[in-house]
Structure 1
Amino acid sequence: MMRSAEDRMTWVCTPEPPAARLRLTDPPSHRAMLDGGWWPTSRDPVRELCSLVTALTARRSGVIERIMLHRAAWDRHPCRIGVAGTVVRVGWFTTLGPELAIITGRRELRIDLAVIAPDATFAAATAAMVAASRTANTVRAADLLRIPPGPRPRPPVGPGDDVTGGESEGGHPQHDPHPTAPVPA
């Protein structure tokens, strides 16, 4: 497979990434199938992976070196992302389900996260993240929520997006009323 120059370059996260909508098991359990749930806000891997790596690093999960994702679930496919002075390699696989992200790093670090589709409802995403973050959970990511691969609707225009011009089809842009992850109960 030929990769474009854009895919081969290292994408650097320059502005402060948005807070990741992430929920992890506490404490981590080696008996659990999943280590938590992640609900990206978009299908842009640079933006979303920068926020994920930042959040995992802040929780002292260890040094993250690699992330494995399903190729068809994302809009582009960079192989390297620079976050806070480190480079994280990204692997794109068709054999990995779109509902799973595998994060690896030093000292046998491995984090398996259920990936909830960005367009999931708040209620469905919250339920999936709670189920994925239960200590000693036995649920597989594929059983939480299905992420349909293939064509995706165009993301809504949000505040702060660098877009010129107005809506051409009328109506109002939709905004996520809950931009951050739910607080654990």
Structure 2
Amino acid sequence: MATTLVPTLSARLSLTPKSTLAGLLDGAWWPRSRDLATELPPLVDALEERYGRTTRVMVNPARWPVVPHKVAVTGHTVHVGWFTEQDADKMILLSYAVGRCDLLVIPPGTEPAAAARLMTAAAVPGSVLAAGVLMSDEAATGRRARDARSDEDTWETDGGSTLPPPQHPIVGARMIPLPGNPWR
């Protein structure tokens, strides 16, 4: 029986440019699934040139249904640990050569436009925005964008006006006399 090797897809990754400005994040990673055993090898391979051999990875288990203790990557094994105190939207990778790499983890089902905004924001050199802040900001931006599209859809479908027609005054309403008005 012949085995067919399925080629692994490259990691969707955005890293901060090499700079002296250190920020809270070193970039962003947009995995295709929540399967760490499948997703980690392409990520570790993509980071090896810049960060050296990754030896350990730390995640928050809130975002990963299964956290394996070890994951086989090209030529070695990466040890995986989890910490519930760690930001759920961040992954920490450790290597002997460079030290630490902190990445924003963008949820797999994120819309491409939102993922692109997050990847750009996480790769800004010297940024002081944490992973959770970037995610909540994007959620708010996404809501505003959806609300704006909803308003535009209303405008397009109701003949061009989202405001109701002006109301006529009610006949027989009590009139309030003004000073100097002889009708008291």
Structure 2 length-normalised TM: 0.67
2:81 is aligned to 91
Q: How far apart in 2 are the matches of 1:116 and 1:29?
A: 25
2:67 is aligned to 77
Q: How far apart in 2 are the matches of 1:84 and 1:96?
A: 27
Aligned pair partner of 1:66 in 39, 56, 72 = 56
Q: How far apart in 2 are the matches of 1:100 and 1:29?
A: 22
Aligned pair partner of 1:33 in 6, 17, 24 = 24
Question: 2:25·2:103 contact (CA, 8 Å) conserved in 1?
Answer: yes
Shift of residue 107, structure 1, vs aligned partner: 3.5
Between Structure 1 and Structure 2, the one with more helix by share is 2
- Equivalent positions of 1:1-185 (< 5 A) are 15-29=6-20, 31-57=22-48, 59-146=49-136
Q: How far apart in 1 are the matches of 2:20 and 2:27?
A: 11
Q: How far apart in 1 are the matches of 2:79 and 2:72?
A: 9
Shift of residue 30, structure 1, vs aligned partner: 5.1
Aligned residues: 132
Measured on the aligned residues, the alpha-carbon RMSD in Å equals 1.6
Aligned-residue identity in percent = 38
Shift of residue 124, structure 1, vs aligned partner: 1.0
Distance 1:15 1:110, change over 3 A: farther
Residue type matched to 2:91 in 1? A
1:176 is aligned to none
Distance 1:123 1:50, change over 3 A: same
Residue type matched to 1:115 in 2? V
Residue type matched to 1:42 in 2? S
Distance 1:15 1:104, change over 3 A: farther
Question: 2:118·2:134 contact (CA, 8 Å) conserved in 1?
Answer: yes
Residue type matched to 1:131 in 2? A
Deviation track 1:139-173 (CA, whole Å, cap 9, x = no partner) reads: 11111115xxxxxxxxxxxxxxxxxxxxxxxxxxx
| Structure possessing the higher relative contact order (Cα contacts under 8 Å, 6 or more residues apart) | 1
- My pick for the range that moved more, 35-44 or 92-101, is 92-101
Question: 2:15·2:26 contact (CA, 8 Å) conserved in 1?
Answer: yes
